[in-house]
Structure 1
Amino acid sequence: MAPSDAPAFRDIFFTSEDGLRLHARDYPVATPSDIGGRLPVICLPGLSRNARDFHQLAVLLANHPENPRRVIAVDYRGRGLSQYDPNPANYNVMVECKDVIALCDLLGLKQCLFIGTSRGGLILHILAALRPDLIAATVLNDIGPAIEAEGLMEIRDYLGRRSTFSSFEQAAEGLAALHSRAFPALAGTDWLDMAHALYIERDGTLVADYDPALNDQLQAIDFSKPLPSLWPQFEILAEKPMLIIRGAHSKLFSAQTLQAMAQDRAKVTTRTAPRQGHAPLVHLENIFPSLAVFLSEF
Structure 2
Amino acid sequence: MASSSSSPPWSERVVIRDGVRLSCRDWGGGSGGSAGAAGGPRGSGVDVLLLHGLAGHAGEWDDTARLLRDSGHRVVALDQRGHGGSERHPRDGDLSRAAYVADAVAVIDQLGLDRPVLIGQSLGGSTALLTAAGHPGLPRALVLVEAGPGGASPGVQEQIGSWLRAWPVPFPSRAAAVAYLGGGTDAVGEGWARGLEQRADGLWPRFDPEVMVQSLDENATRAFWDEWAAITCPTLVVLGQGEHGGIIGGDEYAEMARRRPALHGTSLPGTGHDVHLERPGVLHRLIVDFLAGPCLGAHSNS
Give your verdict on TM over 0.5. Answer: yes
- The change in CA–CA distance for 1:293 and 1:108 in structure 2 (over 3 A counts) is same
Contact between 1:246 and 1:258, CA under 8 Å: does it hold in 2?
no
Contact between 2:82 and 2:90, CA under 8 Å: does it hold in 1?
no
- The Cα offsets for residues 261-281 of structure 1, whole Å up to 9 and x where unpaired, read as 123634311111221222312
Aligned to 1:101: 105
1:203 matched to 2:197? The reply is no
Aligned to 1:234: 228
What CA distance in whole angstroms lies between the structure 2 residues aligned with 1:5 and 1:270?
Answer: 39
Equivalent residue for 2:240, pick from 247, 270, 273: 247
Aligned to 1:268: 263
- The change in CA–CA distance for 1:218 and 1:63 in structure 2 (over 3 A counts) is closer
Q: 1:206 is matched by which residue type in structure 2?
A: L
Aligned to 1:124: 128
Aligned to 1:183: none
Equivalent positions of 1:1-298 (< 5 A) are 7-17=8-18, 19-29=19-29, 34-36=42-44, 38-64=45-71, 68-86=72-90, 89-147=93-151, 149=153, 154-164=159-169, 165-176=171-182, 179-180=183-184, 186=185, 188=186, 190-217=187-214, 227-237=221-231, 239-248=232-241, 249-263=244-258, 265-281=260-276, 283-296=279-292, 297-298=297-298
- The Cα offsets for residues 172-216 of structure 1, whole Å up to 9 and x where unpaired, read as 11123xx33xxxxx4x3x145224333221233111121333244
Contact between 2:60 and 2:192, CA under 8 Å: does it hold in 1?
no
Q: 1:259 is matched by which residue type in structure 2?
A: A
What CA distance in whole angstroms lies between the structure 2 residues aligned with 1:280 and 1:222?
Answer: 21
- The change in CA–CA distance for 1:154 and 1:12 in structure 2 (over 3 A counts) is same
Query: How much does 1:88 deviate?
Result: 8.0
Contact between 1:200 and 1:206, CA under 8 Å: does it hold in 2?
yes
- The Cα offsets for residues 232-291 of structure 1, whole Å up to 9 and x where unpaired, read as 100122x21111011114453212111211236343111112212223126434443222
Q: 1:15 is matched by which residue type in structure 2?
A: I
Where 1:125 maps in the other structure, the secondary structure is: helix
Where 1:155 maps in the other structure, the secondary structure is: helix
**% identical equivalent positions:** 25
Contact between 2:53 and 2:121, CA under 8 Å: does it hold in 1?
yes
Where 1:115 maps in the other structure, the secondary structure is: strand
- The change in CA–CA distance for 1:287 and 1:125 in structure 2 (over 3 A counts) is closer
- The change in CA–CA distance for 1:274 and 1:24 in structure 2 (over 3 A counts) is same
What CA distance in whole angstroms lies between the structure 1 residues aligned with 2:41 and 2:216?
Answer: 49
- The change in CA–CA distance for 1:22 and 1:144 in structure 2 (over 3 A counts) is same
Contact between 2:197 and 2:204, CA under 8 Å: does it hold in 1?
yes
- The Cα offsets for residues 68-127 of structure 1, whole Å up to 9 and x where unpaired, read as 211100011221111223558512221011011111111223411010111111112321
Contact between 2:161 and 2:213, CA under 8 Å: does it hold in 1?
no
What CA distance in whole angstroms lies between the structure 2 residues aligned with 1:120 and 1:140?
Answer: 8
After the TM superposition, list the runs of 4 or more consecutive aligned residues in structure 1 that deviate by more than 4 angstroms: 30-34, 86-89, 150-154, 218-223
Q: 1:40 is matched by which residue type in structure 2?
A: D
In the superposition, the TM-score normalised over structure 1's length comes to 0.82
Where 2:237 maps in the other structure, the secondary structure is: strand
Aligned CA-pair RMSD: 2.8
Query: How much does 1:230 deviate?
Result: 0.3
